[in-house]
Chain A
Amino acid sequence: MAAAVATPLKFTFSSSHGSTRRLQWRNNQRSVKRPYRGAITAKIEHKPPPYSLEALEPHMSRETFEYHWGKHHRAYVDNLNKQIVGTELDTMPLEEIILATYNKGDLLPPFNNAAQVWNHEFFWESMKPGGGGQPSQEVLDLIKRDFGSFEAFVTEFKAAAATQFGSGWAWLVYKANKLNVGNAVNPLPSEEDKKLVVVKSPNAINPLVYDYSPLLTIDVWEHAYYLDFQNRRPDYISTFMEKLVSWDAVSLRLEAAKARAAEREREEERARNEYEGDDSQTDPQPVEMYGTDSDDSEAD
């Protein structure tokens, strides 16, 4: 199989995520044979990994890829396309489909397929031939800041991957939450609030639904390692960290995550200014509600 050209992973994640989307999910499959609006039919792609299927041998076998990419990932794509064709999900980019069908935890049927398509693409790109080693200085600095040391991060990541019970994923994410809740705005926002965090998730769940920016993932569904490692999940995880992980991808994703966080901050600033009007820029003077002439006080 010819190697696909590696394309840098871009976040097409739109800032409309913050708005509340009302999704009217209807199973239109039976009624819609006509072309939908712009006649786009379900077009989620089954993207190949950015390397050939045997490129990660002997750490991850070609046979594993033939099943994992060739069957599991392909099935998620095909089933998703079947589910969304003719519905309003059909016109949306994949990340938006995931968020819409996550539905605040009350999962709609296409969620599993949509999230798993995204997860697997992200996973292939989290690995590379000749992977492993150390991250870039920038990533390393953040890891040291948030985990204490690179070794501490690796230990925590491996533990998360090993203890995810049953099927799921372990992640390194960039958490850009600014501690803003409702009208209680973080008075002293700083870069320090933005953390690198390790999380684990079950089945198809991914950190996009928590509004985190994923940087790295490992698939710990049994199908990901069973042919090569059988029950020895810890060996698989160690091999992943030592021989497969693509720190290049992590660096690219970190840049994108930071850019996205900055963009969001700018938008929120703009929105706040619009709401408050120009007064926010000057010292707020007490506004006279009533004219000084008409004094309604009882004092004579």
Chain B
Amino acid sequence: MDNKTGAMDKNWGGAIGPVRLIVDTLMVIRTLITRNPAAPLASRGLHTFSLPNLPYDYGDLEPAISAEIMQLHHQKHHQAYITNYNKALDQIQAAADAPTVVKLQSAIKFNGGGHVNHSIFWTNLAPVRAGGGEPPRGPLRWAIDNNFGSFEALIQKMSAEGAAVQGSGWVDPLVSKGASLVPLLGIDVWEHAYYLQYQNVRPDYLENIWKVVNWKYAS
């Protein structure tokens, strides 16, 4: 376990699980972050964001994840990251001196990271009728088998790592190759992601989420 408490990994606003797989047969990363075309472009080219819509209804992931959780998670938690990110961005652009800008960096990182992580997360999930839970095929499956031994081994490892995360964080077993590691598949293990349904039994949440994971996106 390399997730040390007290030295929280500041990447992407949360602790990233130690399972980082560089997928060789990776395809181009789709840009997920929804841009708000109506927002005025600031002089530095930084723009604000707005909450992306879910590609399914709040209740579509039941019984793995409850509608109540999906709604709160999307409309409150994710929205809060976006709101705070936009606020920090405004403040940075209005800042008169360097120290102010520097102080706002962590707000940008935490909230921006939260926004990115959650945007990817929504597309990592799909209702069963849309293929959620169907194991991957093709190049991705081959890469998984090569790097983890088997698909089942990946699942087990991710569930174990997810359960072992201390405090709040994510488990990102699949990331893109290249200079910036962008998660292809990330599982939110912040307590808000499961508490209303699973309370303290995070392992049950992890066991059940596989039934709605959208491998097609990661492929």
The chain A residues found within 8 Å of chain B, CB to CB, are 67, 71-72, 75, 105, 107, 111-112, 165-168, 201-205, 221-223, 226-227, 230-231
Of all chain B residues, the one with the shortest Cβ separation from A106 is B4
Could you tell me if B6 and A67 are in contact, using CB atoms closer than 8 angstroms?
Answer: no
| Contact assessment for B200 and A168 in the assembled complex, using a CB-CB cutoff below 8 Å | no
User: Provided the pairs A168-B167, A203-B166 are in contact, do residues A226 and B192 lie with their beta carbons within 8 angstroms?
Assistant: yes
| CB-CB nearest in chain B for A226 | B195
Against A, the Cβ 8 Å flags (1 = close, 0 = not) of B71-111 are 01000110010000000000000000000000000000010
B24-39 interface (Cβ within 8 A of A): none
CB nearest to A109 among chain B residues: B1
A87 to B167 Cα, complex, angstroms:
26
A75 partner residues in chain B, CB cutoff 8 A: 200
> Which chain A residue lies CB-closest to B77?
A231
Q: Is B58 an interface residue (CB 8 A)?
A: no
Q: Which residues of the other chain, A, contact B167 by a CB distance below 8 angstroms?
A: 166-168, 202-204, 221
Cβ of B8 and Cβ of A166 under 8 Å apart?
Answer: yes
Interface residue total, chain B, C-beta cutoff 8 A: 23
Name A's interface SS: mixed
Nearest chain A CB to B184 CB, angstrom units: 23
B5 touches A166 (CB 8 A): no
Q: Is B13 an interface residue (CB 8 A)?
A: yes
A205: chain B residues within 8 A (beta carbon): 5-6
Q: When the two chains form their complex, are residues B191 and A222 in contact, meaning their CB atoms are under 8 A apart?
A: yes
How many A-B pairs fall under 8 Å by CB? 73
Asked if residues B80 and A203 are in contact (CB atoms below 8 Å), the reply is no
User: How far apart sit A222 and B80, CA to CA, in the bound complex (Å)?
Assistant: 15
Q: Say yes or no: is B179 at the interface (Cβ < 8 Å to chain A).
A: no
* B-side contacts of A105, CB under 8 Å: 6-7
B183: interface (CB < 8 Å): no
B191 & A221 in contact (Cβ 8 Å cutoff): yes
Identity of the chain B residue whose Cβ is nearest the Cβ of A165 in the assembled complex? B110
A204 to B167, CA, bound (A): 8
- Chain A: minimal CB distance from B171 (Å): 14
- Once the chains bind, are B72 and A71 in contact (CB under 8 Å)? no
Q: Which of B4, B7, B76, B169 contacts A230 (CB 8 A)?
A: B76
A204 touches B5 (CB 8 A): yes
- A residues less than 8 Å from B72 (CB atoms): 230-231
Q: When the two chains form their complex, are residues B5 and A223 in contact, meaning their CB atoms are under 8 A apart? A: no
Which of B6, B13, B168, B192 has the most CB atoms of chain A within a 10 A radius of its CB? Answer: B6
Interface check B54, CB cutoff 8 A: no
Q: Is the CB of B8 within 8 A of A202?
A: yes
Contacts of A203 in B (CB 8 A): 5-6, 8, 166-167
| Cα-based distance from A203 to B5 in the complex (angstroms) | 6
B1-55 contacts to A, CB under 8 A, are 4-8, 13-14
B121 within 8 A of A: no
Q: Which 6 pairs of residues, A with B, have the shortest CB-CB distance?
A: A166-B168, A167-B167, A222-B191, A203-B5, A203-B167, A231-B76
CA distance A222 to B77 in the complex (A): 12
User: For A67, what are the chain B residues with a Cβ–Cβ distance below 8 Å?
Assistant: 199-200
Q: Is the CB of A226 within 8 A of B6?
A: no
Subset of 20 A-B contacts with CB under 8 Å: A67-B199, A67-B200, A107-B5, A111-B5, A167-B166, A167-B167, A202-B6, A202-B167, A203-B5, A203-B6, A203-B8, A204-B5, A205-B5, A221-B168, A223-B200, A226-B191, A227-B196, A227-B199, A230-B196, A231-B192
Which residues from A are CB-within-8-Å of B8? 165-166, 202-203
Residue B210 at the chain A interface, CB threshold 8 Å? no
Q: Give chain A residues whose Cβ lies under 8 Å from the Cβ of B7.
A: 105
Residues in chain B near residue A226, CB distance under 8 A? 191-192, 195-196
User: In chain A, what residue has the closest Cβ to B167?
Assistant: A167
Residues of chain B lying within 8 A (CB to CB) of residue A221: 167-168, 191
Per-residue A-contact encoding for B60-77, CB less than 8 Å = 1, 0 else:
000000000000100011
